[in-house]
Structure 1
């Protein structure tokens, strides 16, 4: 939450890299989809702000199961919305790197086990990357390991 309040993009990226890979990769697919939805906001009336407000409680969830008081619930909803909003504002190139990694791993597995392949390998990320050049900022690299506490 500190990274969101401080609007610290590098800390947000660090938090994404700390997610378990299946969760992070699923989030990447979902964020890319929502970014695509927001690109058509003139016709669907769903800019990033609306997407974050509507979907944040479902996607971000709650940190505890206890019922919240009215004031707490407002704060929790605001925080959920801000988290999703900041994730949606990260560049699509950042999220796309997780898809490309998965597709290349899938292709490697498919190449080793071609005797039972019944369909062509999944290639939607190559279609995505064909539209935009591969330019990654150095801030997208995984964070360094934590320093030992003394």
Structure 2
């Protein structure tokens, strides 16, 4: 299973010779792995974070619930073996345009705030990942603001979100 995941993630480099967009499966696994890693940073990968990740992946990629559950499980296993963020961020940076990388940061902010607060480790990870993805501080800050605005709207007020 682990070899399959690694082959799946690192199978292709760059765009196809005919100029077609990159393989979305690569983004799915890399995105899921980064999201799972962000969820684990506060010491608990709880149900709320798992639900948020599943929702983000379903919305972003139009996946079925069963496929999302399998992807999250595979990403969880891969984060245990990967030994860091660099491989995932390298794959995303090499294959995805700036808008997609900013979208990835926005998804990470959503996971970081899934439990209603931002842990210092989560904030640090977001800064590191943004740098590794060549997303500017301004773009990351704007993504964070969009997430906070969206979450405060869902929660019925800004007082429910700490960070």
Q: Higher relative CO (CA 8 A, sep ≥ 6), structure 1 or 2?
A: 1
**TM-score of the superposed pair, with normalisation by structure 1:** 0.37
Whichever of the two has the greater Rg, that structure is 1
Query: Which structure shows the higher helix fraction?
Result: 2
